[in-house]
Amino acid sequence: MGLGDGYCGPALFLAELGRATGESRFTRAAAEAVRPLPRMLRLLAAHPELAAAVGPGGFSGLGGVAYATARLARLLDTDAGSQAGDGLAAALPDALTALAAAAAAPDAAPDVADGLAGALLAARAVHATAPHPLTAALLRDLPRRIAAAPAPSAPGFLHGRTGLAYALAAAAHAAAASGARAADPGRGADPGGEARADAAAAEHARADGPADAPAAAGDLSWCSGLAGAAAAFGGAASERHLAAVGAAGGASAHDLWLRDLSLCHGESGVLEPLAALPGPAGAEARRRAGERLAAAVARAAAHGGIRCGTPLGVPIPGLLTGLAGIGYGLLRLAPGATIPSVLLLEPSAGRGTSNDRKGTNSMDNDLTTIEPPAAEEAAGVDPARDAAADRAAASRAARRRAAILAGMTVGAVAVVALGDGATTVSSIIL
C-alpha cells in the first residue's frame, strides 16, 4: 500500500506516464492498481489503532498514501481513469483521518521514511492543493513534535537528519508564504516563519555539513548521501554533488548504473537533484542527466534487463527501489517536465492551476512532436535565426522522444510486474 514499496508508487508513475504520453493503457493500469485503496482507507480511518500500526511515514506509512491519494485523484481525472479519480478524491478525507491517527501515536518515529517528518511533508503537499482542517492541524502541531524529538544519529534524507531539517524548513516556508501561522488561516500572520525555516536550514548545515563531509563524499545516493542533501537544500551541497557526478562534463565519477538504476540509492536518485537546477547551467546539467539516464535504461534493457535496487537487481514494480522510480526519474529529467519531485513529496503546481488537471499535460510541450517556430520566425524575418531555432527545437524534441520511449519501456515492464501482485492484493482486500 505504501508509496515507497507498495502499489501507490507504481500507480503514481503510471498515471504520470499516461498523462505525458496520452496512452490510456498506462492510466488504466494506474487506476486498477489503486482500486482497493478507498476501501482500505475507510477501514483505517474507522480503526485508529490500525492506522497507528501502519505509521505516519512518507514512504512506508500513511503520509505517502495520503500524498499519493491526492496526486492520483487529480492525475486520474481522465476518461480512462475518471472512476478511480473520483473514488480517490472522495477517499482523501479518510486518508487524512488515518494519517492524523497514525501521527498522534506517542512512539511515532521522527524521520521521513517511517515517521513524523514524512507526515509533515505529505500534509504540506495535500494542503497546497486541497486544504483541509486536518492538514492545517498537522502543519501546526508536527513541527513542534519533530523539533522536540531526539535527532537521528544517521545522516541522509530518508532516515536521517537531512530529511528532518528539510521537512521543518519546507513547512516553515509554506507557512510564511501563505502568511499564516503553521499554514492555518485561523491563526493569523506568521512573520517568524522565514526565520524558523532559516534556522532549520542552519541546523541542517551543522548536522550534515563539514563534520559529515567524508561520509557524503563516499555516498552519492539520495537516501543517505549527497544527492539527498543537494535535492533538499541546494547551495554548497548542489555544487559538491554536481562536481561528484560529473554532470557538467558528461562523465560519472561513479558508474552507479552498473549497480542499479533506482531512485533510492541508484542512478535515478543520484541524478534527481539536477532536475531542479536553475539557469542555463542547470538546463545543461539536466540535458546531460536526462540523456545519461535514458542511455543507461537502454543499455540495461539491451543487456539482461533493467537493474533495480534489490538483491541481484531483481526487477520489482516499487517506487524507491523498483521500476516505478526509474520511470519517474526519466519523466522528471525530460525536457519541459513540470512533474513534482516525489522524493521530496513536493506539492503539485498549485490550487486551481495544477498541471495535473484534466486536459493538460505534465510536460510543457508534447513529447513526440517538434514545436513550430514562432510567428515572426515563420515569416522569414531572420533565416539564420530560423535555422538555429529549428535545430534547437529538433534537438529538444529528440531528447523528449528518447526520454518518453525509455519511460514507456520501463512502464511496460512495470505493468507486467504489477499485474499478478495487484490482482492478488485486490482479491485479499475486496
Average pLDDT over the chain reads 78
- Spatial neighbors of 376 by CB under 8 A, at least 6 apart, are none
Per-residue pLDDT band for 63 (boundaries 50, 70, 90) equals very high
Among the residue ranges 164-178, 202-216, 228-242, the one predicted with the least confidence is: 202-216
pLDDT band for position 74 (cuts 50, 70, 90):
very high
**Distance between CA 75 and CA 247 in Å, rounded?**
32
Kindly indicate the confidence band of residue 399, based on its pLDDT and cuts at 50, 70 and 90: low
Quick check: 224 and 285 in contact, CB under 8 A? no
Instruction: Please give the Cα distance from 204 to 171 (Å, whole number).
Output: 15
Q: What angle do CA 6, 9, 13 make, to 5 degrees?
A: 150
What pLDDT, in 10s, does the model give residues 262-319? 999 999 999 999 998 888 888 888 888 888 888 888 888 877 788 899 998 888 999 9
- Residues 169-188 have pLDDT tens digits of 999 988 887 664 444 444 44
Neighbours of 366 (CB within 10 A): 16
